[in-house]
Amino acid sequence: MQSIDIIRLSEKQKQQLIILKRKTGIENWNVLCRWALCISLADPTIPPKEDIPSDSNVEMTWKTFGGEYADAYLAILKKSYLLQNNALDGIDINNFIRLHIGRGISFVLKTIPF
C-alpha cells in the first residue's frame, strides 16, 4: 500500500473549510480536516465515489495533517481502507482519504448549528 505524502484539497472543500473556520473559530486547516476524517471514518459506510480535483491551493504534508498522532491516524485510515478495499473499485489511499475528508466536512456542515 502506498503512503500518503501530501493531502491536496479541492476548491469546493476549501470553500467549505473557510465556512467552518469562520463558524467555529478554528484557524488550522489540518485540525478541521482531522475532525472531518474521523467523523467520516466513524460511519461504517463507504463514502460515495466522486472525482475530487486537487484544484485549490490548500495542501498539507501528512505530518502536518496528523500532527503528533500522524501514525495513529495512518493506522486507522489504512485499516479502514483494507476493510473497504473490495468495494472501492481501484481507488487508491490518497483518493480514499480525500473522499473521507470531503464527506466528513459535509457532515460537520450539516450538524453544527450556525
Which residues are CB-neighbours of 93 under 8 A, at least 6 positions away? Answer: 1, 2, 3, 4, 77, 78, 81
Question: What is the tens place of the pLDDT at every residue in 54-113?
Answer: 788 889 999 999 999 999 999 999 999 988 877 777 788 888 999 999 999 999 999 877
pTM: 0.89
Give the 3-state secondary structure of residue 113: coil
CATH of 7-111, one of 3.40.50.970, 3.10.20.30, 1.10.1220.160, 3.40.50.300: 1.10.1220.160
Write out the three cell numbers for 87.
Answer: 468495494
